[in-house]
Each structure stands twice: as structure tokens, then as C-alpha cells.
């Protein structure tokens, strides 16, 4: 069983730039959620994708956008980067919308904005 993988693991950008983070979900999982985790804090929900459609969004501005592909992998895009966007970005996959169940997290992409 393949776990959740994210890339890149670390990256450094400057303010105003754009970034794309990638996530491969666990085999058989059709739902991907993205979380932002600032240093020393709990993960904050960004949005969720189910079968290529956005299914819920947290309190993040429109410059945070995403995609889910037919193989259920996903991308998180952030435009016009700000210093406060520096964080660990976690992807989590799960099975189905109707079920309350385990989230399988990747190890994250650590973004530093200078």
C-alpha cells in the first residue's frame, strides 16, 4: 500500500512569487485535503477535493487554489506569496466523503518565504 507522498519537501521563495506543491494520495483514496501548519501550531484546513471537485474551503484567500487530477493526486497553488505563508503544508488523503475516518498525512512541504 503506497502512502501519501508530497513534493518538494523544502523550498524557498521570495515575496510575490508563486508556488505549486504536489501530493500523491494513498492508493484507493479519492479525497485529498490540504492543511497549513505554522510553526508551533495545529494544522489549519485550507480546502478539500473529492473526485476532482473542490468540496469545502477554510478561511484562506483566493490566491490559495488547488486541483485534483483523475488519478486523485492533487496540487496546491499559492500566488503572490506573503511572508506569513511560510509554513509546513500538509496533504491528507481519505476514503470518501460520507465516512468519518482516518486522515493519512504526508510529511509535508516546508515553504519559506523571504
Partner 1 sequence: QQPVQSPQAVILREGEDAVINCSSSKALYSVHWYRQKHGEAPVFLMILLKGGEQKGHEKISASFNEKKQQSSLYLTASQLSYSGTYFCGTEDRAAGNKLTFGGGTRVLVKP
Positions in the binding site for partner 1 (CB under 8 A): 4, 31, 33, 35, 40-45, 48, 50, 55-56, 58, 90, 92, 94, 96-108
Shortest Å distance, C-beta 16 to partner 1: 29
Shortest Å distance, C-beta 33 to partner 1: 7
Shortest Å distance, C-beta 75 to partner 1: 19
Closer to partner 1 by Cβ: residue 49 or 81 = 49
Shortest Å distance, C-beta 100 to partner 1: 5
Any long-range contacts for 52-60 (C-beta under 8 Å, 24+ apart)?
55/31, 55/97, 60/36
Residues 6+ apart with CB under 8 A from 86: 38, 111, 112, 113
Q: Distances in Å between the alpha carbon of 63 and those of 50, 59, 85, 92?
A: 20, 12, 11, 20
Closer to partner 1 by Cβ: residue 18 or 112 = 112
Amino acid at each position: 500500500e503506497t502512502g501519501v507522498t508530497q513534493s518538494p519537501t523544502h523550498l524557498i521563495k521570495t515575496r510575490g512569487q508563486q508556488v505549486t506543491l504536489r501530493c500523491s494520495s494513498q492508493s484507493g483514496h479519492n479525497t485529498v485535503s490540504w492543511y497549513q501548519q505554522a510553526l508551533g501550531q495545529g494544522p489549519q484546513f485550507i480546502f478539500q477535493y473529492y473526485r476532482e471537485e473542490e468540496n469545502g474551503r477554510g478561511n484562506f484567500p483566493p490566491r490559495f487554489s488547488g486541483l485534483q487530477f483523475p488519478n486523485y493526486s492533487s496540487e496546491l497553488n499559492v500566488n503572490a506569496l506573503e511572508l506569513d505563508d511560510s509554513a509546513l503544508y500538509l496533504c491528507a488523503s481519505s476514503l470518501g466523503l460520507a465516512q468519518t475516518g482516518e486522515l493519512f498525512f504526508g510529511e509535508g512541504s516546508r515553504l519559506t518565504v523571504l
